[in-house]
Amino acid sequence: MSDNRAVAYAGAGKVEVIDIDFPSFTLQDGPGVNPASVGRECPHGVILKVVSTNICGSDQHMVRGRTTAPEGLVLGHEITGEVVEVGPGVEFVKVGDLCSVPFNIACGRCRNCKERKTGICLNVNPDRPGAAYGYVDMGGWVGGQAQYVMVPYADWNLLKFPDRDQAMEKILDLTMLSDIFPTGFHGCVTAGVGVGSTVYIAGAGPVGLAAAASAQLLGAAVVIVGDLNEDRLAQARSFGCETVDVSKGDPADQIEQLLGVPEVDCGVDAVGFEARGHGDGSATEAPATVLNSLMDITAAGGSLGIPGLYVTGDPGASDEAAKKGSLSLSLGTGWAKSLAFTTGQCPTMKYHRGLMMAILHDRVQIAKAVNARAIGLEQAPQGYADFDRGEATKFVLDPHGLLGAA
């Protein structure tokens, strides 16, 4: 088989495209690989030729040096690909199948998987529940920003597209099924979004925009997106969202101008631990800002969906507590208002088939909502740099030049 090229973390602020080994069904040692996993056999896996793999805001946290990711870690957890080889334990997935890969790695056998909690599988990470491709402390599975990648527990994990030609026509939409579309949708579902809801989504990056499109799909009456970046706010307005520029002050005042009241039914945090202050403090990092703001502006008895990433190890944090994931939350506000909170990885498999059907039957145009753009694998460093500067684009890597007119 051919060699393999991949995108790797090369130190704070840097990624590079490197040569790596072609994947096998035995886990090898390497940067970020959990020592307890080295030598693990995966006869239940398949090898994919990667058709598309996306740059994610979660990847950017590592690339900025805001995690304990080691240099040389192969990045990428948003993967769509064609099966080119199957392990001896694979029964239903076949060579030639075009599939979406959930970013969560799940065994399908443990208690949590059987309860559809695939974001916290008990068998795929020796250190704690939950695993993902190409991510620090997530089990050491090799990332998919590459030409080829191994996917374990393939019969369980992979979502096969029913028609290859139809899928390739909509590949820029379908590539969002691996993470940001289900993640944004999960944020809305756990926030209680439904027909007639008013919704505030903090963050107009790709996950926030995916959450906004999801809220519309779920029947929300008004979707308001808040951010500091005018280009990203303009992208939200392009598909019918209202917007709030939080650099101009507290969201409550701007929400009141839109709705007549300073609160919404449902709140979604699509920012995470690199949040900044509002108003005059918008230039200063303040990691608890979004969560405290959402508690203030969500109506009593409402819910907060929190798909934004929070970590237990942030060496670049502004204070010692935040370096360990301890934030100054106004939990009393949440208690007094009887608010419900849902955090953690989205259980992608809970949603991805339904969202696939919505895409295939033209119920949603998620690629347009997040402004998806395909670039070559070798252009990944520039894509990371542009994304880090706040460009309102979801960069989709095309390792084999297969996206073409898509």
- pLDDT, tens digit, 9 for 90 and up, residues 4-15: 999 999 999 999
**What CA–CA distance (Å, rounded) separates 346 from 202?**
17
Q: What is the CATH number of the domain that holds 89?
A: 3.90.180.10
Let me know whether 217 and 286 are in one domain. Answer: yes
Tokens encoding 355: 């969202």
Angle at CA 149, nearest 5°, toward 107 and 173? 85
What's phi and psi for 331, nearest 5 deg? -65, -25
pLDDT tens digits, 180-190: 999 999 999 99
Closest to 304 measured CA to CA, from 179, 181, 186, 182: 186
pLDDT tens digits, 261-286: 999 999 999 998 888 888 887 778 78
Let me know whether 193 and 256 are in one domain. Answer: yes
pLDDT tens digits, 117-164: 999 999 999 999 999 999 998 999 999 999 999 999 999 999 999 999
Count of domains forming the chain: 2
Let me know whether 128 and 271 are in one domain. Answer: no
Boundary residue ending a domain (324, 343, 362): 343
What's the domain range around 320?
A: 183-343
Q: Has residue 1 got a pLDDT over 50?
A: no
Let me know whether 28 and 168 are in one domain. Answer: yes
Cα dihedral 366, 147, 152, 130, rounded to 10, equals -60
Boundary residue ending a domain (323, 343, 363): 343
**What CA–CA distance (Å, rounded) separates 395 from 338?**
39
Residue-level pLDDT at 400: 97
**What CA–CA distance (Å, rounded) separates 353 from 21?**
32
- Are 267 and 305 a contacting pair, CB within 8 Å? yes
Provide the residue count of the chain.
406
Let me know whether 228 and 330 are in one domain. Answer: yes
Task: Provide the residue type at 240 as one letter.
Answer: G
Let me know whether 145 and 224 are in one domain. Answer: no
The model's pTM is: 0.96
3-state DSSP assignment of residue 82: strand
Establish if 403 belongs to a structural domain: no
- Are 295 and 250 a contacting pair, CB within 8 Å? no
Establish if 170 belongs to a structural domain: yes
Residue-level pLDDT at 404: 76
Residue-level pLDDT at 322: 82
Which secondary-structure segment (H or E) carries 224? Answer: strand 222-227
